[in-house]
Amino acid sequence: MDISIVVPLFNEDESLPELFNWIKRVATSHNLSYEVIFVNDGSTDRSWEVIEELQKENPDTVHGIKFRRNYGKSPALYCGFKAAQGNVVITMDADLQDSPDEIPELYRMITEDGYDLVSGYKMNRSKGDPLSKTIPTKLFNATARQVSGIHNLHDFNCGLKAYRKDVVKNIEVYGEMHRYIPYLAKNAGFANIGEKRVRHQARKFGKSKFMGLNRFVNGYLDLLSLWFLTNFGLKPMHVFGFIGTLMFFIGFLSVMVVGGTKLYCLAKGIPHPLVTDSPYFYIALTMMILGTQLFVAGFLGELVSRNAPERNNYQIEKEI
């Protein structure tokens, strides 16, 4: 199979028939064998009924995964990637803002140009979205480029992406990490990452599901988490142990200075208050205690990292 198209969705029943017919028309005209995997992320409208109707009409090309509840975009992509069989896997949103006309060129860039991953770049996004969305997005992408080291991507969060099959089978998308799939791919050894300018179309049905300040705050927190996990996920002792040892050492030296000063004053007969009357003694003692706790936290982190259970465990109600 040439292409697997993974479409995560939440309450997009009106756009699904048009989206599938558009994909079908493009794939057929370019002689591409394909499958479309719709992942219904706990929709409360008729989305699953529409997917079932499409599957009955197109049993060889339409597949559906139905979650029992809403988990989020990352779990939907994870399950879609797990089911994908195509040599090239393409993701796109279900709201018709991603154009299926981009599929042939994305496919060519993977198969002929040799990219591991190609991310879309919606240059005209600002024409259709409010400033409250575009300005934080630009700041977010600038930060993501610096932290990840992938400087050639302008839009990390674009839903329209193409992947070599090996990429999606060797990365773990969890939590809200769908924003950082290029970073995850790079960390997994798939560093040949490209970008394609794509069209950004106005939403035709419904309203956006990704508005609000929480989205951008969570995005930065996820980026910091991913950076930490990338550098210290399998070696937490390297960060907790280092910081703990440093704090304990500084605290110990401070106690020695406070105690040494007291002994010196006693030896010279110089009046000096009790060691316990000095605030520096308690600051030093606190640093030693915190340093010990951080050091122990490093040991516990090592144990957890070696015995972590499977985190991608989602309740799937039905598959077709």
Measured distance CA(286)–CA(298) in Å, rounded: 18
% of the chain beyond a pLDDT of 70: 86
3-state SS, residue 103: helix
What is the pLDDT of the chain when averaged over all its residues? Answer: 85
User: What contacts 282, CB < 8 A, 6 or more positions away?
Assistant: none
Strands (E), the chain: 3-9, 34-40, 62-67, 88-91, 117-122, 161-164, 193-198, 316-319
pTM of the predicted protein model: 0.74
Measured distance CA(268)–CA(271) in Å, rounded: 9
User: What contacts 203, CB < 8 A, 6 or more positions away?
Assistant: 95, 96, 97, 128
Measured distance CA(111)–CA(4) in Å, rounded: 14
Measured distance CA(302)–CA(41) in Å, rounded: 34
3-state SS, residue 318: strand
Measured distance CA(81)–CA(163) in Å, rounded: 10
Q: Which helix (H) or strand (E) holds 108?
A: helix 103-111
Measured distance CA(173)–CA(117) in Å, rounded: 15
Write out pLDDT tens, residues 250-294: 888 988 888 888 888 888 788 777 777 778 888 888 889 988 888
Q: Which fold has domain 3-232?
A: Spore Coat Polysaccharide Biosynthesis Protein SpsA; Chain A (3.90.550)
* pLDDT computed for residue 206 by the predictor: 59
DSSP assignment of 146-214: HHH--TT-S-TT-S-EEEEHHHHTS----TTGGGGHHHHHHHTT---EEEEEE--PPP-SS--S--SHH
* pLDDT computed for residue 277 by the predictor: 78
User: Which tokens in the block code for residue 247?
Assistant: 């704090």
Beta carbons of 164 and 116 less than 8 angstroms apart = yes
Beta carbons of 158 and 198 less than 8 angstroms apart = yes
Beta carbons of 116 and 193 less than 8 angstroms apart = yes
% of the chain beyond a pLDDT of 90: 45
DSSP assignment of 82-99: HH--SSEEEE--SSS-S-
Measured distance CA(280)–CA(255) in Å, rounded: 8
Query: The tokens 């018709």 sit on which residue?
Result: 96
Q: Is the pLDDT of residue 67 over 80?
A: yes
**119 pairs with which residues across the strands?**
161, 195
The residue type found at 68 is R
Highest mean pLDDT among 91-100, 277-286, 297-306: 91-100
Write out pLDDT tens, residues 210-235: 555 566 666 667 777 777 767 666 67
Left (φ > 0), alpha (ψ -120 to 50) or beta: where does 289 sit?
Answer: alpha
User: Which tokens in the block code for residue 78?
Assistant: 């994870």
Q: Is the pLDDT of residue 113 over 80?
A: yes
Q: Is the pLDDT of residue 134 over 70?
A: no
* pLDDT computed for residue 15 by the predictor: 93
* pLDDT computed for residue 267 by the predictor: 82
Closest CA to 95 of 155, 42, 47, 134: 47
User: Which tokens in the block code for residue 18?
Assistant: 């048009």
